Structure 1
Amino acid sequence: METNVIKIGNSKGVRLSKTILEKYQIGEKVEIILEDNQIVLKPIKTPRQGWAEAFKKMHENGDDELLIPDVFEDEDFEEWK
């Protein structure tokens, strides 16, 4: 694929199409890797992205009960203090 390098203020940049951004899951940030006379853009993945919203939704739906009993419910933790 060939594209133009464009002027952005005092810098230059390359536009990426929406299709490319979606296909390679590129969000707001990328890692730039310089190797073998090439520039490689690598999407930055955020581990556990969206988990907070998912847990909130589970709680709202009442779907956040423990699946196994709490093994420490009768434990005396005084010795840990």
Structure 2
Amino acid sequence: MTHLIKIGNSQGIRIPKPLIEQADLEGKDLQLQVVEGGLLISPKKPAREGWRESIKNTLENRGAESLDQEWLNAPLVTDDDWAW
């Protein structure tokens, strides 16, 4: 069990070492989320973490998507009368 403690103008908690080890939080940046009357503490994941492996697995299992030749071969036409 832990309690809120005053740290300057904020409050914090001390997390027992066994819980930190069990949750593999040692030395990691943490993300906090309010969930159903509680607080979820989880390690913050870097952007795009795991994307390379996911794409590789998708390509191995399903193959590459076929290219949409209709759009790729469409002529580039500019319409000077049209504006955003």
- Structure-1-length-normalised TM-score: 0.49
